Structure 1
């Protein structure tokens, strides 16, 4: 039988006859001789010769077939699998996109951004959807506002005092322990005057308002005169917080509650030492109750903790006032740990903890610490459960599920009926020494 032979073919480029087994088939389907193929590109993806290649951001050359699904960057002209649309600009690769600013509001990259009140940079879409110019200047502000912060409060409000305002204290209630509260809150621009006038009217001689540059974009600090816990619990106008909230006032992570505890309310330097140690030893539970952990404004620093004995003796050679307990004031200790709130129970819990922790450590003995674990949170909550005056604190602890937490911060079993009283069947881990 005769052998079947494959006929030779003609190169589609140079028209020479070439043996069929030496023909090179291109990606595009052309059949060419080896010499003609030598002058063509070889695809880095499929390793087949091709008439044209596209260069990629990964420094490879790919044929049209391998480039299927890729996009070309309008800025560098390279191909990429990831393309980003720039608002008012080109579609670009991940490398070129770094040349554009990102909108602080929507997160998109933009050819041009504009600065709005507060310093954020926004794209043209967000600028036209959400901002307009202040009526009195060229500052871009939210559509809901008429004027920017500077123009709206130019000259201030006569009922809001300067930050360094310190009137003669008016004591309310029976001592020896008095508490002073500083509650920072944010107000809508349009409701600022109404919020100020409402707060001043409701507080009467119990407190006053102060400016605070850390409150942004608009707000004030509500400050009380010294008051006993019993007076605060029964006589502070708690309905004011709800009324302010209904006006649109709010709080966030940038604002806090500071509780000043009178130094005269302690029975001795040893009492101060016990109180400082109790707060610092129970950092996890205290920050859970406080609803925040702030290294910038209320740090539980090891240095301050180790200086408790010196602070108890009156030293203020410390680590700055932005500690969990600020020891700098001459007549008070400032407990700075709490997140701000306009919910009465949360604010009551902050004041109640300040008062209760002082009273709990007033008669705490070495024997109770050594044999009854007096430093532990469970011992404190057990003590609280026998004192109805601190019911708001116990309720808040129950809600936050922090009264009987383990040192790992895991919540106790949800079926535990007595968790908030400190009598949970699962023993709380010993506080950090």
Structure 2
């Protein structure tokens, strides 16, 4: 019987025809002659030939099947059996680890670290989550701190604690008295100068207190009760300019609070008209106040309980536009703080003018002359010169009508 003849096959690359025994099947499924297969890479694990080798961190080559289970280094892109996880979930081979630093807080590898006041070095995520700058020297310190150990918040014997409350000394003639609380921030290095300057100007009209909302450094200037006329003519307005020259400032974190004596209202009905007027005019009032703040909220709860508050019920929440919790005063909390005399004068003038406007507001005024509306109030203001700083501020803010 004749011997069968096996047909030649062609090399997949050069197309030479050779007996099948002279061809090699690669890991990629190609049949190549010896010359063509010698141009391919050889997997060190299985010995197979491949056009798509994977370089390892040991400078060896693996095929796609043998590299399964190995991890690619995020930096050099070679494959390794063991890698280390760096910040950002980056897998790093043993060769590239040498280029990394270790965060002293989380012990993870990272490309860059930042020195903090303690002497440690921390990574970006730890820095963002746990650190801030010292308010004085700008070293990085734990986020809950304001100053580093080398810089302490300054103290002054005549800046009293938050709960300090002396017996009130009334200035001017009532019946309405106003108590101003002006929150001021100061550069740390000028704190004592600012305090001494304030004390030299305020005499027995006011005192200085600490307040946790004034960060990193500053004080609250609190006046004794004043009539509006006394405040406009006798408060040391030049002090505000002096403080600005010392670098004192205000920002969105601090405010002006004005206490209005409850005895300055004719009746609970008058108090109700005043509360209702302020809350009904939220838009122009917040424009005048130069802020809309969660510390002075125009809340639906307050709106719906104004009559009860006017009759003496004291609400549970303090941070309303008008805080009704104090026993002897209403606290108007709406204003952003300022060291500009006109803005502070306008705040005091609004407190006084809104009370006087609503004192004589009648049902006819409300029904026929739209007495609740802001335009009616500003028209009334123009006929009452003692409140001119308020009118000037309203004109500057384009809400005088």
- TM-score, normalising length from structure 2? 0.70
Please give the alpha-carbon distance, in whole angstroms, between the structure 1 residues aligned to 2:318 and 2:209.
Answer: 19
| Paired position in structure 2 for 1:259 | 258
Alignment partner of 2:204: what SS? helix
Please give the alpha-carbon distance, in whole angstroms, between the structure 1 residues aligned to 2:127 and 2:194.
Answer: 31
**Cα distance, 1:9 vs. partner?**
6.7
Q: 1:277 to 1:87 in 2, by over 3 A?
A: farther
Alignment partner of 1:208: what SS? strand
On the 8 A contact 2:185/2:215 being kept in 1, the answer is yes
Please give the alpha-carbon distance, in whole angstroms, between the structure 2 residues aligned to 1:257 and 1:345.
Answer: 13
Unaligned runs of 5+ in 1: 1-7, 19-29, 41-48, 55-60, 62-69, 79-85, 91-95, 104-108, 134-138, 404-419, 423-433
| Paired position in structure 2 for 1:148 | 152
Please give the alpha-carbon distance, in whole angstroms, between the structure 1 residues aligned to 2:15 and 2:173.
Answer: 109
**Cα distance, 1:148 vs. partner?**
2.5
**Cα distance, 1:288 vs. partner?**
1.3
Please give the alpha-carbon distance, in whole angstroms, between the structure 1 residues aligned to 2:362 and 2:355.
Answer: 14
Please give the alpha-carbon distance, in whole angstroms, between the structure 1 residues aligned to 2:182 and 2:366.
Answer: 34
**Cα distance, 1:326 vs. partner?**
0.9
| Paired position in structure 2 for 1:277 | 276
**Cα distance, 1:112 vs. partner?**
7.2
**Cα distance, 1:207 vs. partner?**
0.5
Aligned pairs for 1:45-64 (under 5 A) are 51=52
Aligned pairs for 1:275-424 (under 5 A) are 275-295=274-294, 297-316=295-314, 318-401=315-398, 403=399, 420=400, 422=401
Output one character per residue of 1:200-222: Cα deviation in whole Å (capped at 9) or x when no partner. Answer: 11001111111112211111110
Alignment partner of 1:205: what SS? coil
**Cα distance, 1:186 vs. partner?**
1.1
Please give the alpha-carbon distance, in whole angstroms, between the structure 2 residues aligned to 1:13 and 1:111.
Answer: 55
| Paired position in structure 2 for 1:158 | 157
Give RMSD over aligned pairs.
4.4
Please give the alpha-carbon distance, in whole angstroms, between the structure 2 residues aligned to 1:13 and 1:52.
Answer: 21
Q: 1:15 to 1:309 in 2, by over 3 A?
A: farther
Please give the alpha-carbon distance, in whole angstroms, between the structure 1 residues aligned to 2:172 and 2:185.
Answer: 29
**Cα distance, 1:11 vs. partner?**
2.8
| Paired position in structure 2 for 1:410 | none
Please give the alpha-carbon distance, in whole angstroms, between the structure 2 residues aligned to 1:319 and 1:212.
Answer: 21
On the 8 A contact 1:180/1:224 being kept in 2, the answer is yes
Pair 1:185 & 2:193 matched? no
Output one character per residue of 1:42-93: Cα deviation in whole Å (capped at 9) or x when no partner. Answer: xxxxxxx972589xxxxxx9xxxxxxxx996984568xxxxxxx99689xxx
On the 8 A contact 1:175/1:265 being kept in 2, the answer is yes
| Paired position in structure 2 for 1:24 | none
Please give the alpha-carbon distance, in whole angstroms, between the structure 2 residues aligned to 1:221 and 1:132.
Answer: 28
| Paired position in structure 2 for 1:121 | 131
Please give the alpha-carbon distance, in whole angstroms, between the structure 2 residues aligned to 1:333 and 1:31.
Answer: 88
Q: 1:213 to 1:33 in 2, by over 3 A?
A: same
Q: 1:215 to 1:16 in 2, by over 3 A?
A: farther
**Cα distance, 1:303 vs. partner?**
0.9
Give the structure with higher Rg (CA): 2
| Paired position in structure 2 for 1:131 | 139
**Cα distance, 1:397 vs. partner?**
1.2
On the 8 A contact 1:11/1:17 being kept in 2, the answer is no
Pair 1:110 & 2:123 matched? yes
Please give the alpha-carbon distance, in whole angstroms, between the structure 1 residues aligned to 2:301 and 2:287.
Answer: 22
Unaligned runs of 5+ in 2: 1-8, 20-27, 42-49, 56-63, 65-74, 78-83, 92-98, 116-121
On the 8 A contact 1:299/1:322 being kept in 2, the answer is yes
On the 8 A contact 2:101/2:113 being kept in 1, the answer is no
Alignment partner of 1:181: what SS? strand
On the 8 A contact 1:101/1:113 being kept in 2, the answer is no
**Cα distance, 1:302 vs. partner?**
0.8
